[in-house]
Amino acid sequence: MFPTMNDVLLPSSSCLSPLPRRGEKQNASAIILAGGKSSRMGRPKALLPFDGEPLIVHLVRRLSPLFADIVVVAAPDQELPAVPATVVHDTVAYQGPVGGLYYGLQAARTERCFVTACDAPFLNLPLIAYLLEQITDCDVVVPFWQERLQPLHAVYRRWVVALLQEQLVRQELRPVALYTKVRTREVSPEEIRRFDPEGLSFRTMNTPEEYAAALALWRARRVVCTVELFGVARLKAKVASVPLTLPPGATLRDAFAALAEQIPDLVGSVVTADRQGLTAGYACNVNGTLFTCDPTTPLHSGDSVLILSNDAGG
């Protein structure tokens, strides 16, 4: 017996709300599927240490700048570390991705839902934001990469949960069975490469060897940069510069969050309270050439991020 929804959200023009600007939190939910057997890995993938924390914590942290609503779907008796997310458990264990999608969509609080597996550490936020933008006139947005669809790095409208319930009854446990029944938008490799040239977003870890390789790649791709502070920002921080080590594919948003973590005194006065950007009195410059307020601006190793007061000649 499957749980039922009292109010399935049906698609209509009234649910197509205006999209936020790139870099802002989305009116959307992120769903992380963590309830798989992890049989080839030999231990729960959600608990694997990654960049100094359990993998599930790493994923929630990575997605939190883009999503106010995050749902983690676990197996019935699965234990997870505390995360700032809604944790739900399958009523029936090991029903595959369709089961995880079903329970996750039920728990989501918004109409648009991005879904990912718990073993995909190289999530690319600008690509995810682009996928969310594409669902204005369809029900599923799914990337096509390496000659196949990627249903566990896709966006779904919440109303399709009713169709997923029917699939579970019929034991159709592959998400792609849904796509011929709804309006589906396939995102081409050319579109994906604009944000993620190597397709690292779709790299998952199923074996100890793949886990070790992902860890090595993560360490090799980390972005090492410096934040230079001027004027009042320097006085508040009591230092002139702050070295940062950021995740692969880092953006200015990652730099602001890391700066806030290292120097909490800057939060609220220089860095915004949500740690996503700078307050109105400050400007940002990358390498002395590019003034930008866009938190999705990519950073590279060796970059210098200059933070200065707007009234100090910036």
Q: Looking at the chain, list the stretches that DSSP marks H as alpha helix, in order from N- to C-terminal side.
A: 55-63, 96-107, 125-133, 161-169, 189-193, 208-221, 232-237, 252-262
Q: What is the pLDDT of residues 112-132, one digit of tens each?
A: 999 999 999 999 998 999 999
Structural domains in the chain, CATH included, are 13-214 (3.90.550.10), 222-309 (3.10.20.30)
Give the three-class secondary structure for 40.
Answer: coil
**Percentage of residues in the chain having pLDDT higher than 70:** 91
**Predicted structure pTM score:** 0.82
Torsion (CA) 260, 265, 266, 267 in degrees, nearest 10:
70
Q: How confident is the model at residue 13 (pLDDT cuts 50, 70, 90)?
A: very low
Q: What is the pLDDT of residues 103-113, one digit of tens each?
A: 999 999 999 99
DSSP class of residue 297 equals: -
C-alpha–C-alpha distance, residues 218 and 123, integer Å? 12
Q: How confident is the model at residue 65 (pLDDT cuts 50, 70, 90)?
A: confident
